[in-house]
A = this chain, B = another copy of it.
């Protein structure tokens, strides 16, 4: 069987690698000739709105999926009219617009930080009465890894922020003083069965995920599962979905969803019985889902901009390297490493070692 993937980055690469043992082959569509998934899958090099290329992709595969949220709506509609596409495009539409996303949370009674849609500068003044300060002004669409957002701490920063982001549909949200950022990843099949991965605790640096740790038996696991179940069922979702949350004094506030495999679930490759990548493929092909239980304790560290030396990363015997074979570039995710241990204590030490080693980059 063949899977078509819109987007040919590291997520598609890891999907393709997870597919081979199942006897699957992936074909990726990506505008870039050096898309890193093309090293392990066939590539159709084309823009996401190239209808002939979309046709070419869909004709040779059994199902189409995506690793990239910002697919133009008309491309998706074209595919939908003629081919099976999972996850359902309503999930993509929702995730493409922060306002839709927040409204969905509210509709499903999932707590969210206070938010107000902003289309004109005048609305901003009124909005901060509700959100308070500090607050975050964000573009409603096309933002990722901290791009397209500005933190407002004082009223006098509004004009400057508007100058940078204004003119596009915006949203302003209360900046929540959270204890930690967590995410839950779950997979739902066509029959509506849902398997949940253990929570991941995520630490960001300059807006980009720096490291993520598995949290087996977290006291907030059940609540996170309730929330993501509501979303999965509401969207009649098929595939892997990630829900990012803030833990504020033991209450979970929803931040955003990603309708795809997610960076905070990369540790599932070694740290869960069946990885998010394999389970996404199983779900969209209507195969039985794999166990999502944690296997020991795991943590993943992203390599951003530059790769440390392989021999240095692998300095501890329980470290697993994932080099995406991408060209180094500032701010670009080009690899990660996961460390797995039998106890939380051992993991904490191993993670510290790994972070230290990861920061040693050959000059």
| A residues with CB within 8 A of B | 13, 17, 20-23, 25, 39-40, 195, 273-274, 282, 287-291, 295-296, 307, 310-311, 314-315, 317-325, 335, 340
Residue in chain B with minimal CB distance to A336:
B21
Across the interface, which residues of B come within 8 angstroms of A323, CB to CB?
A: 21-23
- A311 CA to B283 CA, complexed, in Å: 11
CB pair B317–A290 under 8 Å, yes or no, is: yes
Across the interface, which residues of B come within 8 angstroms of A320, CB to CB?
A: 21, 274, 290
Residue in chain B with minimal CB distance to A14:
B21
Most chain B beta-carbon contacts within 10 A, residue among A25, A289, A317: A317
* Chain B min CB distance to A34 (Å): 14
Copies in the complex: 2
Across the interface, which residues of B come within 8 angstroms of A13, CB to CB?
A: 20
- A138 CA to B17 CA, complexed, in Å: 40
- A296 CA to B342 CA, complexed, in Å: 11
Sample (7) of A-B pairs whose CB atoms are under 8 Å apart:
A22-B310, A23-B324, A23-B325, A273-B318, A287-B311, A288-B315, A290-B319
Give the 5 A-B residue pairs with the shortest CB-CB distance, closest first: A23-B323, A291-B317, A288-B314, A21-B322, A291-B318
Across the interface, which residues of B come within 8 angstroms of A289, CB to CB?
A: 317
Across the interface, which residues of B come within 8 angstroms of A291, CB to CB?
A: 317-318
* Chain B min CB distance to A1 (Å): 9
* Chain B min CB distance to A348 (Å): 18
- A287 CA to B309 CA, complexed, in Å: 10
Most chain B beta-carbon contacts within 10 A, residue among A195, A315, A320, A324: A320
- A340 CA to B290 CA, complexed, in Å: 12
Across the interface, which residues of B come within 8 angstroms of A40, CB to CB?
A: 20, 40
Inter-chain pairs besides A21-B320, A23-B307, 14 sampled, C-beta below 8 Å: A13-B20, A17-B20, A20-B40, A21-B322, A22-B321, A23-B323, A23-B324, A274-B317, A288-B314, A288-B317, A289-B317, A290-B318, A290-B320, A291-B317
- A273 CA to B22 CA, complexed, in Å: 21
- A318 CA to B291 CA, complexed, in Å: 6
CB pair B325–A311 under 8 Å, yes or no, is: no
- A20 CA to B22 CA, complexed, in Å: 17
CB pair B17–A273 under 8 Å, yes or no, is: no
Residue in chain B with minimal CB distance to A311:
B287
- A321 CA to B1 CA, complexed, in Å: 14
Across the interface, which residues of B come within 8 angstroms of A39, CB to CB?
A: 20, 25
* Chain B min CB distance to A234 (Å): 25
Contact residue among B273, B307, B325 (Cβ-Cβ distance under 8 Å from A317): B273
Contact residue among B23, B295, B315 (Cβ-Cβ distance under 8 Å from A310): B23
* Chain B min CB distance to A52 (Å): 27
- A159 CA to B289 CA, complexed, in Å: 56
Across the interface, which residues of B come within 8 angstroms of A21, CB to CB?
A: 17, 320-323
Contact residue among B22, B25, B295 (Cβ-Cβ distance under 8 Å from A295): B295
Across the interface, which residues of B come within 8 angstroms of A322, CB to CB?
A: 21
- A289 CA to B314 CA, complexed, in Å: 8
Across the interface, which residues of B come within 8 angstroms of A22, CB to CB?
A: 310, 321, 323
Most chain B beta-carbon contacts within 10 A, residue among A25, A195, A288, A289: A288
